[in-house]
Structures are given as structure tokens and as C-alpha cells.
Amino acid sequence: MKLDGIHHITCITGDAPANVRFYAGTLGLRLVKKSVNQDVPTIYHLFYADEKGGAGSDITFFEYPGAERGVAGAGMIHLITWRVASDASLDFWEQRLKEHGFDSTREAGRLRFEDPEGLALEIAVVETADEPLKARHPEVPDEHALLGFDGVRVYTNDVERSRDLLESTLGFERDSDSSWTVRGESRGSHFVYDGAPGRGVEGAGTVHHVAWACSMDEHQRWRDRVAAAGANVTPVINRFYFKSIYFREPSGVLFEIATKGPGFSVDEAPDKLGEDLALPPNYKYLRAELEKQLTPLPSMSELGR
């Protein structure tokens, strides 16, 4: 069995409206699902991705209104990298970010910047045969669109603690003493460790977990495999849009393995994704109450769509 790279990355925000303006506006991603945290249904779970909501492009956020900013530290992801096709795309994004009030730092083939709450992000020129996962935004030329995730970087105090689980259990392929490639039949991603600067504090602008993609028919086998390795893995949890298991790798990063189906079109037409509040069946009875409590979000027209 092979994992198909990153499925999604889930982060924390304290300001959903600003979050929507940045990810669905400035970065041109599509808000493909406006839902709630299925463990705490009184807060948002927002999903941004390519036009189809495909695994490998999906960055998601729990909103804890007014949450203080966190700091990435040991056992936490500290950088998320997207792919683009060319240096001309980096030129475009450098200028666009500047016009929207965001500073960036350019290196060979890479552009680093932060979201409004300090989450470290990167756009990199990557040559790959993977399907380009593009969102359409009228202000972002098609040739410069983000093309899905390339990988994440993580802080750790001890790379060796995690090696066996990554390689023997999860099938990550080592590229160096601190980096691995996760590749299945359709996609791949990079997972890289850096020395930890200290302890982290979870909060707005930090990553909650990273999810790896698998086929629906292999999901239970992945759980059995992780459990056999001695990890404290959850039972299979039905998230309606996909099924999930959760466990921590030895450095402390929360891992999820999520199925690539049934997908976000299970309860909304593909051309209507993200337009209305979408609730899993077990929370539909809360709709009236939740619509009063949840933070009002910008309209698509406010985002230039």
C-alpha cells in the first residue's frame, strides 16, 4: 500500500472573514465547503482547494473566534508549500501579495510569506507529472494558479524517533537524513524535519494536523497497520466527506489518514460548492441555531469572484 501524498492540511484561525478574504481572495483558492467542526459544531470548518475540491490541494481551518496567535515549535508543522509552474508565476505572486499588503521573501525558485495570522507559507516552482490541481479566480491567470501542495516542513527535537514509523509503517521514502517523499499512484508530497527552536503554542496561525490520502478500500488496512506498529490510533471516523483515522507520529505531529472519497459533491452540486452552510446529516437539526451563531463571511462578489 502507498499513501497518495497529502490529502489536506488543517489549521487554526481566530478570524474567519479575514481568512476567507486571504485564501479565497488573495490566493485565488476556491472555498469548496463551508461547514462546521464535527467535534465542536459551534465553530466553522472551512475548506479551500482546487475547483473540484481534490485531495492534495485542500487547506482547511477551524475558526476559534478571537483566538490568540500561536507559535510553531517542536512537534508542529511550521511551513506549507504549494506548487506553481514557473518563475513567471513567482513574479506574479510576489506582485499580487505586495498589492494586497503582504510582504514576501524570494529565493531561487521559492517565495515565502505569511497569512494574516502569521502562518508561514511558501510557493515553489516544481516540475512534476502530478495532475495540476487548479482553482479558477478571475484575477489569477490560469498559468499562475497554485497547483496543489508540494509538502510541509516540521520542527522536531529528534528525527530518529520518527524514522521507523515513517518508513516501515507508512511507506515514506527517505530522500535525506531529514526528508521523505510520500508518493502513491496519483500524487506525491514531501515531508521534511527541521531542528526545533523551542516549544510551540497552538493557536491562530498554526497547523492542527496533516492528512495523508488513501483509497477507500485500503483505509481499514491502514488503521490495522498503524495499530500493529504500536501507535495510539483512533477508530475509523466517518467525516461524511471522507473517512479518517488519527494518531501522532513520535515527534508529536498529529497525522490523519483520510480516504479520497466520497468527496465534497456528496451534498452539493459541483458548481455550488461552498456557497451555503453544509452540515453533515447528524448536525442538520442544528442549522437554525448555528446560522445565528457562526461568524458572517464575505460574499463571493467581495472576493472578486
Q: Which domains occur in the chain, in start order? A: 6-303 (3.10.180.10)
Query: Burial, 268: exposed, middle or buried (Cβ in 10 Å; 0-12, 13-18, 19+)?
Result: middle
Query: Taking a C-beta distance cutoff of 8 angstroms, is the pair 156, 74 a contact?
Result: yes
Instruction: Find the mean pLDDT for residues 32-53.
Output: 95
When pLDDT is averaged across residues 71-84 and rounded to a whole number, the result is 98
At 300 the pLDDT is 77
Q: How far, in Å, CA of 305 to CA of 289, rounded?
A: 29
Based on its alpha-carbon atoms, the radius of gyration of the chain, rounded to whole angstroms, reads 18
Instruction: Tell me the pLDDT of the chain averaged across its residues.
Output: 96
- CA–CA gap between residue 62 and residue 13 (Å, rounded): 6
pLDDT at 146 over 80: yes
Determine what percent of the chain is predicted with pLDDT higher than 70: 100
> What's the pLDDT at 304?
72
pLDDT of residue 68 exceeding 90: yes
For residues 193-222, average pLDDT: 97
3-state DSSP of 24-81: HHHCCCEEEEEEECCCCCCCEEEEEECCCCCCCCEEEEEECCCCCECECCCCCEEEEE
Alpha-carbon span 53 to 35, nearest angstrom? 14
Per-residue confidence (pLDDT) for residue 303, from 0 to 100: 77
In the predicted model, is pLDDT for residue 299 greater than 90? no
Say whether pLDDT at 179 is over 90. Answer: yes
Q: What is the mean pLDDT of residues 185-197?
A: 96
For the beta carbon of residue 64, count every other beta carbon within 10 angstroms.
Answer: 18
pLDDT of residue 232: 97
Q: How far is CA 215 from CA 14, 89, 212, 293, in A?
A: 33, 32, 10, 36
Q: Which amino acid is at 38?
A: Q
